[in-house]
Structure 1
Amino acid sequence: MTDWFQETLHPEFTQGLSMDKVLYHDKSDLQDLIIFENARFGRVMCLDGVVQTTEGDEFVYHEMLAHVPILAHGNAKSVLIIGGGDGGMAREALKHQGVQVTMVEIDGAVVDFCKEHLPNHSAGAFDNPRLNLVITDGAKYVKETDDRFDVIIVDSTDPIGPGAVLFTAEFYADCKRCLTEGGVVVTQNGVPFVQPEEVTNSYRRLGESFTDVHFYRAAVPTYQGGDMTFGWATDDASLRRVPVAALEQRYAAAGIDTRYVTPDLQAASFALPRTILSLMTR
């Protein structure tokens, strides 16, 4: 009989993924980390009962968090990634040939682990000379660095445990300090249908530092509960209103190969249903 992984993120409902072959399993008092193969989604990595990433749909998440802010900015030269130890975000950001990428990951062992068990995520990104990998705490880095960035991508876990600091007003203020004029910060912001407080909290906390705070969305099949939101913060409100024609020119000039995001989709992703708009309160 096939073994099944049952996700435990939400107490009200669950999802199951068949574990056709278990490739790695480390269960201890500190964590329960498992990687298995699934016929639909390829390699699946789960931590403490929650799906973290899969080979089958990771491109949706990584493309939307990387290409949307870089191409909305229009002239990004420097990108900072906070987190992203699997290398997928670096892979997508480095598709933009004129961009230098700094990636800050708190645990170097995560990078090594993902290189071994999820090599398709990074696809050689860690060997790219335009990537500067820094192993340190991301919150500490943005508080202390003298470097400045056009785009900051916060590729974090949910605001639970160690990841909670990356959802604070203090962290967002430190990100603002690291941005060039007209720069933009984007964040992983959960699935609002089942995590509505994340939208409200992020909207309020980002609003303490930025004049234009919004969200955009995409459907990632293995993240339970419907469309997920990505936080968006900048002082240049025009960046999320770039016309489709201009985005088409930027996509063509960048020469990037995408599987999910398109100029039309990027423009449309900022249109929010009332269920999400109602959560954006101060």
Structure 2
Amino acid sequence: MNCKKIWHEKLYCHFGQHFLIDELLYKKKTNYQEIMIFKNSFFGNIMVIDDVVQTTEKDEFIYHEMLTHIPVFSHGLIKNVLIIGGGDGGILREVCRHKTIENITMVEIDHEIIDICKKFFPNHSKNSYKDSRLKLIIDDGLNFTNKTKEKFDLIISDSTDPIKYGKNLFSSKFYLNCKNCLDKNGIFVAQNGVFFLQKKETFLTLKNLKKHFHDTSFYHATIPTYYGGIMMFAWGTNNIEYRKNTLKNLQSRIKNAKLAFNYYNAKIHISSFYLPEYIINELDKN
């Protein structure tokens, strides 16, 4: 399916980014979402869901490393992990790199997205779906967290934006469910969009998180694919000590894990919780 045309993202009504489609690789509407995958000469394969860019081959490592390793190394003793969403396999890949993690549960609403990404984004998952620690469940994240009796040290919500089925994963009910699924010192993290263009979503997340966690915050990373500034990640836990980790302590944990990264490191870890002044001012006002 060869073509040369411009694709425009439709996340924002006033403006947005565009990509040149060098080759259309896949397009289908599943029971839950419309998926399109195309090749771009700079970003490689790009996946779009409901007209919003989800991931690219070029810079996915930034997103997946930051959403995974910030909470893992903050905690220091993660054994049981729950991943909500993340059907492209990137978060699963990064979680599986930690050999001290004993159990990984992944809940994805759309099984087709997993099969599609194994084909078109094999380096996202890197065969992590074959990891013996993984229990894969096809279900809605809100429904699963509402009924499960399991407890986790870490919950990572790797969802789409809060539209359609993604809305459930930004609700106060979902955050309450996650708190109830966490062990006493567990951590919840989630992608939370680009603040400069999605302020309302950030305000709503903070309001809802504060209802259920003693320590709520955001950390950030700069990811070229996500247009409009820095990408925000939501943070919720009842242990106020995790964000007080020293540089020396984090460096020791990273060294003991014997892992190498393309973006994440101990200094990035600490600095990611320091937000720009315009964000601090907006959050204080709201």
- TM norm structure 1: 0.96
Number of the residue aligned with 1:202? 205
User: What does residue range 44-193 of structure 1 map to in structure 2 within 5 Å?
Assistant: 44-99=46-101, 100-193=103-196
Q: Distance in 2 between matches of 1:273 and 1:113?
A: 37
Give 5+ residue unaligned stretches, structure 2.
none
**SS of the residue 1:121 aligns to:** helix
Task: Give the residue type in structure 1 aligned to 2:221.
Answer: A
- Aligned residue among 23, 26, 30 for 1:24: 26
Q: Secondary structure at the match of 2:73?
A: helix
User: Tell me, what secondary structure is at the counterpart of 2:208?
Assistant: helix
| Aligned residue pair count | 282
What amino acid maps onto 1:230 in structure 2?
Answer: F
Amino acid at match of 1:174: N
| 1:35–1:219 CA distance, 2 compared to 1 (3 A) | same
The answer to whether residue 235 in structure 2 is matched with residue 242 in structure 1 is no
Q: Residues 33 and 46 of structure 1 are in contact (CA less than 8 Å); yes or no, is this contact kept in structure 2? A: yes
* Cα offset, 1:146, TM superposition: 1.3
Distance 1:30 1:157, change over 3 A: closer
Residues 199-278 of structure 1 correspond to what in structure 2 (within 5 A)?
199-278=202-281
1:161-188 CA-to-partner distances (Å, cap 9, x unmatched) read 1110111111101100011111110011
Do the aligned partners of 2:4 and 2:23 also contact (CA within 8 Å) in 1?
no
- Hey, what's the Cα distance between the residues in 1 that align with 2:77 and 2:191? 23
Structure 1 outlier segments of 4+, above 4 Å? 27-32
- Aligned AA for 1:20? D
Choose from 32, 35, 57 the match for 1:33.
35
Q: Give, in angstroms, the shift of residue 48 of structure 1.
A: 2.4
Aligned Cα root-mean-square deviation (Å): 1.6
- Indicate whether 1:3 and 2:5 are aligned: yes
Conserved? CA contact 2:193–2:231, under 8 Å: yes
What 5-or-longer segments of structure 1 have no aligned partner?
A: none
Q: Give the 3-state SS of the residue equivalent to 1:68 in structure 2.
A: helix
Check conservation: 1:107, 1:135, Cα contact below 8 A. Answer: yes
